Amino acid sequence: MQRCRAHKIRNVRDKVRKADLPEVKRALHKIMNAPNVPAARTAARRFADRFSQNHSTALACLRNDLNERLTCFPYKSQHQRRRARTANVIERRFREVR
C-alpha cells in the first residue's frame, strides 16, 4: 500500500535538529521525486550516508517503510505519481477538487 508522502516527510523531519532541516528536506525530496526506483534507492543510501551518525532515529523512520513509500513508481509520469502519493482518500479527494 502506498504511504502518504507528506506524512512520511513530516515524520522524518520531526526527528532531526532544526539546523539540519533544510538539508534533510532537500534529501527527502530527492528520494520522493526520483525518476525511478533505483534512483530513489540511491538517494535513500545517500541520505543514510549523510545523516546516519547524527540522526539515526530519522534514518530508522525513513527505512521503516521505504518499500511502501516507493510503490507509486510503476506510474511512468510524475503527474500520475503525484495523484497517487497519498493513501488517504479524503486528502486525495481534496487535491482532486482543487
* pLDDT for res 1: 43
Range of the domain at 13: 5-97
The confidence score (pLDDT) of residue 51 equals 87
Q: Mean of the per-residue pLDDT values for the chain? A: 80
Q: Of residues 51 and 77, which shows the higher confidence score?
A: 51
Rg (CA), the chain: 13
Question: For 57-83, what is the mean pLDDT?
Answer: 78
Q: Tally the domains of the chain.
A: 1
pTM of the model: 0.74
pLDDT tens per residue, range 5-35 = 777 888 889 999 899 999 999 999 898 888 8
